[in-house]
Copies of this chain bind each other. A is one copy, B any other.
Amino acid sequence: MSLTLAQASDIAAGTLAAARTNNAKPMAVVVLDAGGHPITLSREDGASFFRHEIAHAKAYGALGMGADTRAVAQRAKNNPVFFSSVTVTVGGNLPLSPGGVLVRDNNGNIIGAVGVSGDTGDMDEQCAQSGIEAADLAHGSQA
Contact = CB atoms under 8 A, between A and B. Distances in A.
A90 B53 contact: yes
Chain multiplicity (copies): 4
A58 to B, nearest CB: 9
Nearest to A86: B95
A9 B13 CA distance: 11
Interface residues of A, number: 53
Interface stretch (A31-39, A125-133, A135-143): A31-39
B80 A81 contact: yes
A106 interface: no
Interface string A93-108: 1111100000000000
Given A40-B43, A42-B39, A84-B84, A50 B73 contact: no
26 contacts: A5-B45, A35-B49, A37-B43, A40-B40, A40-B41, A47-B66, A48-B63, A48-B65, A50-B61, A50-B64, A50-B86, A50-B89, A50-B90, A53-B89, A54-B89, A79-B97, A82-B96, A82-B97, A82-B121, A83-B85, A85-B96, A86-B95, A86-B97, A87-B89, A88-B92, A89-B93
For the complex of A and B, the 10 pairs showing the least CB-CB separation, nearest first, are: A35-B35, A48-B66, A50-B64, A88-B92, A89-B92, A41-B41, A37-B49, A85-B87, A85-B96, A57-B89
